[in-house]
Chain A
């Protein structure tokens, strides 16, 4: 293909069919931890890029929390300048190979895509992944020109997507940035939460290394709030601080039997498998229960990640138990689809009421109630209502509770001058992400409760802009 073939009119562009992602065979992949999506070839990427009609006022860009110039990077792919496309992405997104894999594009950029009104929307996410992967594979990772140092220092608490996004933007503005993380590896949810088959840890490592090449310093095993307070960080010379400590404590359901052996939080199950590599036990020391009959309670991305991990660990039956209907599940459409293809069972409009154990304290059965949908609740989704007397049992040996997280209070308790709401989430200015403590900004799940990688990254971007302004005004 040559760049000349890109001279197409809008009608011709509409006639190009959407290009499908190459995927590992479902039967095969449900038994390994290798990537499910294998990526576009150059030909597929160019074809897909040519479907973009280059709207003069693009509606995709406002849908992107990190403000990627989407038509511009797609146009570069269509013109065969893949490295240029990757550079365009990195102007505004510090983690494009991550976002191309895990963003819920249908709710972000692809939702409002104009092409999508008549045909499938342009596969912006697949194209983002293609360009970012191309740069990684073809060594186009040369040093980005940085402005002269400002002499200002920013501290980032939490090396998850929000913190890394803020770190990248601040470094590109010429600030000295140090990122602290409590775990032994940076990445936050990208490291402990999202499985290898969806986001290889090698990709996370490479994108974080790219930030380190911008001068970002990352310090692991540092639990800010316990080993140092925010005021100590200021005293050490940091001029502003971003808090991106994420979604702390896993929610349980408060029903009998939740502490039986074999009952996990999704956080624990996924952390064991992803961060600790328990799926490689005994080569890695951390063990994990490999259940034969596994039920995952919940319908979000973590629930899908957990159930698909359980399947790969050898489950004969891996079931999603969700109290609303399939349509209402908040997980990314692609994950639901992939889970179905891999043989995951979906039991919807069902809610557990208790877990029953054997004489040794291991879960063996769960009692459930059937639900029906009533009036819409505050989320706009129809409220599930239990059907009286519909109790029934599911035989299980492992249960994974994936019903969201509450705020981790470790840092906010150590910092009483930061205002939190009744759920413990940090209150921020919606434009600047500023907290009630001067010089301290926050974003991601510690502010939002439970959200996505890309919303956290958007918060990090907004905060970086405000921190820059704050630090440049500040006399030091």
Chain B
């Protein structure tokens, strides 16, 4: 059982939790993720580790309430417990001094990009962050990224904050300004990572994307998370979660993410019917 020590809403549907994780707080590295299960009847869902606090033997995770389980998670409060958390899973991000690096975060992906931006900054890179959201109130981590010395550019779909449009357009602007980008890491919705990779592919910029596929055990045992990279089947949980953005088969991954779309809808309707509380 993992006690929730602190709950901080970051935007209307994105919530940050500091949660006890005595086996993970000192063994994780940026890029690692955990799998959590809220209660006995719950499913196992992966989430990237955003930070840790050794004083509390805790980690920070950030969830966007999209499906039933993440919505349920976001109803939990300080003092509540999450039944299971396992980690650190996946390979940590490869951190080195590339020169100029850009992390691109879409939605809750920005939270996941934060520890990686921090590590890249500490490795001596000149750092930019391009973060996107639908509207101003959904933009997260802007101050935190600025606080570690990252040049932050924002884009929103409705233009309520920063550039009106897509994060790829902001990346293009940056390149047009004459910034020589050596490395891009994109974390966000699949279409965003695909668009970023298309753009950087034309300019030969090394690009990693952090994939969020459906998982069960997260340790390589089931293969639910498989993805085709460079024509070969890879497991996101043990071979990833980060892959060369120019080599991922996004169409297949997009299809695979929709396998349970009907059941997910059914689960959500049941959850809402019960007043957003699982009995």
B residues near A268, Cβ cutoff 8 Å:
216, 222-224
**Cβ proximity bits A25-69 to B, threshold 8 Å, 1 near / 0 not:** 000000000000000000000000000000000000000000000
Tell me whether A261 is interfacial, beta carbon within 8 Å.
yes
* Contacting pair A286 B27 (CB below 8 A): no
B residues near A258, Cβ cutoff 8 Å:
233
* Contacting pair A221 B86 (CB below 8 A): yes
Nearest A residue (CB) for B39? A285
B residues near A285, Cβ cutoff 8 Å:
41-43, 68-69, 267
Stretch at the interface among A245-253, A299-307, A372-380, A466-474: A245-253
Tell me whether B157 is interfacial, beta carbon within 8 Å.
no
- Say how far B73's CB is from chain A's closest CB, in angstroms: 12
A residues near B23, Cβ cutoff 8 Å:
221-222, 227-228
* Contacting pair A226 B87 (CB below 8 A): yes
Residues B8-25 near A (CB distance < 8 A) = 23-24
In whole angstroms, how far apart are the Cα atoms of A248 and B267 in the complex? 30
* Contacting pair B252 A221 (CB below 8 A): no
Tell me whether A178 is interfacial, beta carbon within 8 Å.
no
Nearest A residue (CB) for B67? A285
Tell me whether A116 is interfacial, beta carbon within 8 Å.
no
Mostly helix, strand, loop or mixed at chain B's interface? mixed
Question: Would A276 and B255 be within 8 Å (CB), given that A265-B222, A281-B263 are in contact?
Answer: no
In whole angstroms, how far apart are the Cα atoms of A8 and B264 in the complex? 63
Neighbour of B41 across the interface among A220, A221, A228, A277, CB < 8 A: A277
- Say how far B82's CB is from chain A's closest CB, in angstroms: 11
Tell me whether A141 is interfacial, beta carbon within 8 Å.
no
In whole angstroms, how far apart are the Cα atoms of A210 and B181 in the complex? 60
Nearest B residue (CB) for A250? B223
Question: Would A227 and B88 be within 8 Å (CB), given that A287-B263, A289-B259 are in contact?
Answer: yes
- Say how far A355's CB is from chain B's closest CB, in angstroms: 13
Tell me whether A347 is interfacial, beta carbon within 8 Å.
no
**Cβ proximity bits A269-281 to B, threshold 8 Å, 1 near / 0 not:** 0011001110001
Neighbour of B85 across the interface among A221, A252, A276, A277, CB < 8 A: A221
In whole angstroms, how far apart are the Cα atoms of A272 and B222 in the complex? 9
* Contacting pair A286 B43 (CB below 8 A): yes
Tell me whether A184 is interfacial, beta carbon within 8 Å.
yes
* Contacting pair A184 B219 (CB below 8 A): no
Nearest A residue (CB) for B45? A285
**Cβ proximity bits B23-48 to A, threshold 8 Å, 1 near / 0 not:** 11001000000000100011110000
Neighbour of A272 across the interface among B27, B216, B226, B228, CB < 8 A: B216
Interface size, chain B (Cβ < 8 Å): 43
A residues near B227, Cβ cutoff 8 Å:
259
* Contacting pair A252 B223 (CB below 8 A): yes
**Cβ proximity bits A203-247 to B, threshold 8 Å, 1 near / 0 not:** 000000000000000001111001110000000000000000000
**Cβ proximity bits B112-155 to A, threshold 8 Å, 1 near / 0 not:** 00000000000000000000000000000000000000000000
In whole angstroms, how far apart are the Cα atoms of A361 and B261 in the complex? 13
Tell me whether B244 is interfacial, beta carbon within 8 Å.
no
* Contacting pair A361 B24 (CB below 8 A): no
Tell me whether A22 is interfacial, beta carbon within 8 Å.
no
* Contacting pair B223 A282 (CB below 8 A): no
In whole angstroms, how far apart are the Cα atoms of A461 and B24 in the complex? 32
Tell me whether A108 is interfacial, beta carbon within 8 Å.
no
* Contacting pair B68 A250 (CB below 8 A): no
B residues near A289, Cβ cutoff 8 Å:
259
* Contacting pair A250 B222 (CB below 8 A): yes
* Contacting pair B37 A265 (CB below 8 A): no
- Say how far A354's CB is from chain B's closest CB, in angstroms: 14
> How many A residues are at the interface, by size bracket?
35 or more
Question: Would A261 and B86 be within 8 Å (CB), given that A223-B219, A248-B221, A286-B43 are in contact?
Answer: no
A residues near B266, Cβ cutoff 8 Å:
282
Tell me whether B83 is interfacial, beta carbon within 8 Å.
yes
Neighbour of A361 across the interface among B84, B224, B256, CB < 8 A: B256
A residues near B252, Cβ cutoff 8 Å:
259, 361
* Contacting pair B86 A182 (CB below 8 A): yes
B residues near A249, Cβ cutoff 8 Å:
220-221, 223, 235, 238
In whole angstroms, how far apart are the Cα atoms of A85 and B53 in the complex? 53
Tell me whether B217 is interfacial, beta carbon within 8 Å.
yes
Neighbour of A286 across the interface among B44, B226, B238, CB < 8 A: B44
Tell me whether A11 is interfacial, beta carbon within 8 Å.
no
* Contacting pair B87 A223 (CB below 8 A): yes
Nearest B residue (CB) for A360? B255
* Contacting pair B86 A271 (CB below 8 A): no
* Contacting pair B44 A276 (CB below 8 A): yes
In whole angstroms, how far apart are the Cα atoms of A271 and B44 in the complex? 11
Nearest B residue (CB) for A286? B43
B residues near A260, Cβ cutoff 8 Å:
255
* Contacting pair A282 B267 (CB below 8 A): yes
**Cβ proximity bits B248-271 to A, threshold 8 Å, 1 near / 0 not:** 000110011011100110110010
- Say how far A123's CB is from chain B's closest CB, in angstroms: 34
Tell me whether B89 is interfacial, beta carbon within 8 Å.
yes
B residues near A410, Cβ cutoff 8 Å:
219-220, 238
* Contacting pair A182 B217 (CB below 8 A): yes
| Additional 10 contacts, C-beta under 8 A, given A182-B219, A410-B220 | A184-B83, A222-B86, A268-B216, A268-B222, A271-B221, A277-B41, A281-B263, A282-B263, A283-B41, A360-B258
Residues of chain B whose beta carbon lies under 8 Å from any beta carbon of chain A: 23-24, 27, 37, 41-44, 68-69, 83-89, 216-217, 219-224, 226-228, 233, 235, 238, 251-252, 255-256, 258-260, 263-264, 266-267, 270
Q: What are 15 A-B contacts defined by CB distance under 8 Å? A: A183-B217, A184-B37, A184-B84, A228-B27, A249-B223, A261-B259, A265-B223, A268-B216, A271-B221, A275-B216, A285-B68, A286-B43, A287-B260, A408-B221, A410-B219
- In the A-B complex, list the 7 residue pairs whose CB atoms are closest, starting with the nearest: A361-B255, A287-B263, A268-B222, A285-B43, A227-B23, A221-B86, A184-B84
